[in-house]
Amino acid sequence: MAIERLRDGEPAGAGVDPSDFTLSSDPFALFDVWMAEAERAEPEDANAMALATADADGLPDVRVVLLKGFDRRGFVFYTNTQSTKGEELAANPQAALVLHWKSLGRQIRARGPVERVTDAEADAYFASRHRESRIGAIASQQSRPVADRTALMDAVAAVTERVGDGAVPRPPHWTGFRILPSSIEFWRNGEFRLHDRVRFVRDGAGWRGTRLYP
Ligand SMILES: Cc1cc2nc3c(=O)[nH]c(=O)nc-3n(C[C@H](O)[C@H](O)[C@H](O)COP(=O)(O)O)c2cc1C
């Protein structure tokens, strides 16, 4: 599964030593290197991340989504805006994410405000999905009650018949969100639980890194 690295020119992580855990590191460059290593090391869904939101009362919620792109602005995932998470993000447009790669002994956390991607970005990503996945995104009223599996498959069949051989455009309630990190933390497993942690916090146009006790 290729993750869209939404940037021009050289990969952000070019020239970065993945074992370099120094505070001078650029967090997006380090992210790029760790993500690339995870894609090589993890056979399934290296880009699966827990996404935490909170509802209007501040009650936290969490579920797994796929990281579909990142650049120096932030981390992008796609979903249904009418889902529970979509409604939570409408009420409280902030989120946190965590990626954990067990085999590498690494974790990355990030948190910050959330914005929608542009319609052009969402259209481009939607168009890249399998036709069946696009039809499914139209048919599924994500997070709403459904009587049984037959009802879901009937909804899929109805959309399939409606679109025929024609285009399957992105429905308006399906789009991407970008988490604009105010902080990014890297965690690396250490012997006897003496792990390495570095948290980067935005500092003007750059980032300030601080090493933390594990
Ligand atoms: C590995 C994995 C990847 C997933 N990827 C996505 C995704 O990219 N977007 C999405 O909306 N749901 C994804 N889901 C489903 C969500 O975990 C969740 O069930 C769904 O989005 C509804 O969540 P909500 O009711 O909190 O809105 C994924 C689940 C798993 C286990």
Give the residue with greater pLDDT, 16 vs 150: 150
Query: Pocket of ligand 1, candidates 65, 68, 179: which has the most ligand atoms within 8 Å of its Cβ, to mutate?
Result: 65
Enumerate helices (H) and strands (E) in the chain, giving the number of each. 5, 11
Q: What token pair was written down for 193?
A: 């639980």
* For residues 177-195, average pLDDT: 93
Query: What is the model's pTM?
Result: 0.93
Q: For 133-140, what is the mean pLDDT?
A: 96
**Would you give the end-to-end CA distance of the chain in angstroms?**
32
CB 74 within 8 A of CB 180: yes
Is it the case that residue 119 has pLDDT exceeding 60?
A: yes
Q: What is the pLDDT of residue 106?
A: 95
Alpha helices for the chain (secondary structure H): 27-41, 84-91, 119-128, 131-139, 149-163
State the pLDDT at residue 14: 59
What Å distances lie between residue 192 and 29, 188, 189, 195, 214, CA to CA?
28, 12, 9, 8, 11
**Confidence class for position 18, pLDDT limits 50, 70, 90:** low
Average pLDDT over residues 100-122: 97
Give the pLDDT score at 172: 95
Atom of ligand 1 nearest to the CA of 80: 11
**Rounded to 5, what percent of the chain is helix, strand, coil?**
30, 30, 40
Q: How far is the CA of 63 from the centre of ligand 1 (A)?
A: 6
SS3 34: helix
| pLDDT at residue number 23 | 54
Ligand 1 centroid – CA 133 distance (Å): 13
Residue-level pLDDT at 26: 84
Give the distance (Å) from ligand 1 centre to CA of residue 193.
31
Q: Which of 129, 193, 199, 211 is catalytic?
A: 193
d(CA 86, CA 79): 8
Residue-wise pLDDT for 87-105, tens only, equals: 999 999 999 999 999 999 9
Give residue ranges with CB within 6 A of ligand 1: 45, 48, 61, 63-66, 77-79, 83-85, 142-143
Q: What is the pLDDT of residue 1?
A: 46
Rounded to the nearest integer, the mean pLDDT of the chain is 91
Is residue 173 pLDDT above 60, yes or no? Answer: yes
